[in-house]
C-alpha cells in the first residue's frame, strides 16, 4: 500500500510563474513563523466503495501571506480524485486571488503539473496568489477542500507532500509545521487500523560530502495488535554510487553516502505486517568540506660549514587551507629521531576571522656532541581531521656540521663531509622546488 508515498519529500526546482515559487531555495526564510498546515482524520467503516470523503486543508497561526502552493498525496489504490475534487471557494486569500496551478493525478486543470513525485497518481495540487504586494488580513483559515472517492476498504495516509507559504512583498517563504491526516474504513483486529509510529535519527547531523551517514529507525514501531514492522523504505532523492533512489530493508539501521553538497529531503516509509504504512520526511544538509593543513616554510640560521658546538635555530610554519577550523600539530625532528620542538595550533578556516597560519620560532638545536656530517631536519604537520590532500604534510632542510680547523687550516673532517655536501645541495634544490609549488588549495579542485 501507499506505493507513491515512498517518494514524498522530493522537491522540484522548476519555476513556472514568478508570482509564486514552487519549492526551491529562497533569498529569505522566516525563523519565527508558527504556521501550521493540517489535514483531519476520517475513520468510518460505513465509507464503502463509491462514497466520498471531504478533507479541509487548513492554515493556522500564520504570518500574512500573498500566496500558497500545497501538494496533497493519498493512496490511489484506496482513494481517487477527479478534476472537480478541489474546491477553493471561501479560501483564506478570498475572491481576488489568482489560480496559478491546479493539478490532479499529474493532469493539469490550470497551469502545469510538476515533475514526479509532485506530479503523480495520487497527488493533487493547488497554487493561488495575489497580484502585486497585497497580502491577506487573517492569520489562518481554509486553503482548499479536497473531495476523494473511496475505492475499497483500506488505509491511506493523507500526506502534505509539500507546502509553500509566500509573502511576495518581503520575498519570503514561511516555515510551516505540516500535520498529516488519514483515511481508514477497515479494522485491524477489533479496532480501526492505526499507522505505525515512524521516527528516525541520522549521524552526523550535518554530514560532509562523501562521508557515511548512519540512519537509525530503531524507535519506529508497529501499533496495530499482533503486528510487527515488515519493511523500512528509504527515499534518498538521488542515485549515488549505484545505490538506488529508493532502498527497501527489513533492518532499521542503514548507512548512506550522498553525492552532492545540498539539502536532501530523506523520507522513511514504515509498513507493518498488516500492510499499514506511514511516512515522515526529514531534511539532511550535506556540506562541502575541504581539509588541507600544510607546512608554511622551514628556515635555519646556520646551514653550511657549521662548527660542532654551534647552537642552530630552526623556524617552521603551518598553514590551514581548509574550509573549516582545525586543531593541528607542527613537529620539528632531527634525522636521528630527536624531537627538537612541537606545538599545537588552533587555526581558523580559510577566509575566517581568526589566524590561518602559525609559526614555531627559533627552536634551538645544540650541536655539542654530534659527529661532523650533514643532518636532515624534518617538519611534519598533522591533524585529527581526515584530510582531502595528503601530499603536502612534510618538508626538510639540511645542516652541514664540521669540526673547527686547528690553527685556521682546513680540517680533514671538512673534506670528509664534501660528499655529503652534495646531498645538501641536492636536498636544498629539492626543498626550494617544493616551496616554489603553488599551495595545495590552489592546485586542488574545489
Local structure of residue 378 (DSSP, 8 states): E
DSSP 400-420: EEEPPPGGGPPPHHHHHTHHH
SS3 (DSSP) at 236: coil
Domain 293-443 has CATH 2.30.40.10: no
Asked if the model's pLDDT at residue 8 lies above 50, the reply is no
pLDDT for the residue 123: 96
CATH of 3-185, picked from 2.60.40.680, 2.30.30.830, 3.30.300.30, 2.40.50.180, is 2.60.40.680
CA-CA distance, 325 to 293, in Å (whole number)? 10
Mean pLDDT of all residues belonging to the chain: 85
pLDDT of residue 31: 54
Specify the pLDDT at position 36.
96
pLDDT digit string, tens, across residues 265-290: 899 999 999 999 999 999 999 988 88
Among 13-17, 45-49, 116-120, 327-331, the minimum mean pLDDT is found in: 13-17
Asked if 411 and 404 count as a contact pair (C-beta separation under 8 A), the reply is: yes
Percentages of the chain per state (helix, strand, coil), in multiples of 5: 10, 45, 45
Q: Is the pLDDT of residue 432 over 70?
A: no
More confident residue, 206 or 106: 106
Residue 229 clears pLDDT 50, i.e. is over it: yes
pLDDT tops 50 at residue 28: no
pLDDT at 436 over 70: no
Given a cut of 80, is residue 181 above it in pLDDT?
A: yes
Residues of the chain with CATH 2.60.40.10: 208-288, 293-443
Where in the sequence of the chain do the CATH 2.60.40.680 domains occur? 3-185
- The yes-or-no verdict on residue 385 having pLDDT over 60 is yes
| Whether residue 64 has pLDDT greater than 70 | yes
Asked if pLDDT for residue 261 goes beyond 50, the answer is yes
Residue 49 DSSP code: T
Q: Please give the CATH topology (third level) of the domain spanning 208-288.
A: Immunoglobulin-like (2.60.40)
Segment 106-132 shows an average pLDDT of 93
pLDDT of residue 184: 97
Provide the pLDDT confidence category of residue 335 given band limits of 50, 70 and 90.
very high
Distance CA 237, CA 250 (A): 20
> 167 near 63, Cβ under 8 Å?
yes
Using CA atoms, how far apart are residues 12 and 18, in angstroms rounded to an integer? Answer: 15
The pLDDT, as a whole number, for residue 248 is: 96
Amino acid at each position: 500500500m501507499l506505493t507513491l508515498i515512498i517518494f514524498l519529500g522530493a522537491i522540484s526546482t522548476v519555476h513556472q510563474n514568478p508570482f509564486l515559487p514552487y519549492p526551491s531555495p529562497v533569498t529569505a526564510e522566516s525563523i519565527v513563523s508558527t504556521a501550521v498546515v493540517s489535514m483531519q482524520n476520517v475513520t468510518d467503516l460505513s465509507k464503502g466503495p463509491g462514497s466520498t470523503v471531504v478533507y479541509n486543508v487548513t492554515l493556522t497561526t500564520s504570518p500574512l501571506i500573498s500566496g500558497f502552493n500545497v501538494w496533497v498525496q493519498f493512496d490511489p489504490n484506496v482513494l481517487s480524485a477527479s478534476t472537480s475534487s478541489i474546491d477553493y471557494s471561501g479560501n483564506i486569500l478570498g475572491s481576488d486571488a489568482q489560480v496559478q496551478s491546479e493539478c490532479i493525478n499529474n493532469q493539469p486543470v490550470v497551469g502545469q503539473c510538476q515533475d514526479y513525485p509532485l506530479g503523480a497518481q495520487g497527488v493533487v495540487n493547488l497554487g493561488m496568489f495575489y497580484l502585486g504586494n497585497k497580502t491577506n488580513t487573517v492569520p489562518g483559515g481554509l486553503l482548499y477542500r479536497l473531495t476523494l472517492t473511496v475505492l475499497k476498504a483500506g488505509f491511506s495516509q493523507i500526506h502534505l507532500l509539500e507546502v509553500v507559504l509566500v509573502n511576495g512583498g518581503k520575498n519570503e517563504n514561511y516555515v510551516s509545521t505540516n500535520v498529516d491526516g488519514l483515511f481508514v474504513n477497515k479494522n485491524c483486529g477489533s479496532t480501526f487500523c492505526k499507522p505505525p509510529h515512524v521516527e528516525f535519527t541520522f549521524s552526523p547531523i550535518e554530514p560532509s560530502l562523501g562521508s557515511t551517514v548512519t540512519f537509525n529507525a530503531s524507535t519506529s514501531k508497529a501499533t496495530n495488535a499482533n503486528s510487527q514492522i515488515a519493511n523500512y523504505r528509504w527515499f534518498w532523492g538521488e542515485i549515488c554510487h549505484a545505490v538506488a533512489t529508493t532502498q527497501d530493508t527489513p533492518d532499521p539501521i542503514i548507512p548512506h553516502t550522498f553525492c552532492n553538497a545540498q539539502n536532501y529531503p530523506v523520507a522513511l516509509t514504515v509498513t507493518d505486517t498488516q500492510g499499514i504504512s506511514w511516512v515522515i520526511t526529514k531534511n539532511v544538509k550535506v556540506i562541502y568540506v575541504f581539509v588541507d593543513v600544510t607546512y608554511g616554510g622551514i628556515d635555519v640560521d646556520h646551514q653550511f660549514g657549521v662548527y660542532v658546538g654551534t647552537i642552530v635555530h630552526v623556524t617552521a610554519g603551518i598553514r590551514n587551507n581548509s574550509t573549516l577550523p582545525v586543531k593541528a600539530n607542527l613537529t620539528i625532528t632531527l634525522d636521528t629521531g630527536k624531537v627538537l620542538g612541537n606545538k599545537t595550533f588552533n587555526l581558523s578556516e580559510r577566509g575566517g576571522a581568526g589566524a590561518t597560519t602559525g609559526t614555531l620560532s627559533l627552536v634551538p638545536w645544540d650541536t655539542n656532541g654530534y659527529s661532523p656530517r650533514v643532518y636532515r631536519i624534518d617538519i611534519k604537520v598533522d591533524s585529527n581531521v581526515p584530510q582531502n590532500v595528503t601530499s603536502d604534510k612534510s618538508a626538510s632542510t639540511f645542516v652541514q656540521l664540521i669540526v673547527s680547523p686547528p690553527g685556521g687550516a682546513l680540517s680533514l673532517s671538512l673534506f670528509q663531509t664534501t660528499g655529503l655536501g652534495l646531498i645538501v645541495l641536492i636536498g636544498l634544490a629539492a626543498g626550494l622546488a617544493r616551496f616554489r609549488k603553488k599551495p595545495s588549495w590552489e592546485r586542488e579542485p574545489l
